[in-house]
Amino acid sequence: MIVKKNDKYAVECQVKMAADCLQTGEYCDEEEEAQEWVERECWIFSGEGWICTQCNEHIMENLGKMRHDREY
């Protein structure tokens, strides 16, 4: 999701799970620049939104626990 603040644009992290989540990418003059920024920073596109690298790392570290918690 793109957020706008003071006529600048940034991409918002979709999941915001990690304690050190950036919440939003760098604010840029154009929406396209904001998307290019997250691509350069290696954020992951989920198909629905962007996941920052910190949240992606948090998810990967806890994947086993998440799977275990879902077992019956």
Sequence ranges of the domains in the chain:
2-70
Higher pLDDT residue, 44 or 69?
44
**Alpha-carbon separation of residue 9 from 24, 28, 37, 48 (angstroms):** 10, 5, 11, 18
Per residue in 35-48, pLDDT tens? 999 999 999 999 99
Could you tell me the two tokens for 43? 């954020």
User: pTM for the complete prediction?
Assistant: 0.82
DSSP, collapsed to helix, strand or coil, labels residue 58 as helix
**Alpha-carbon separation of residue 22 from 16, 26, 36, 71 (angstroms):** 8, 9, 16, 31
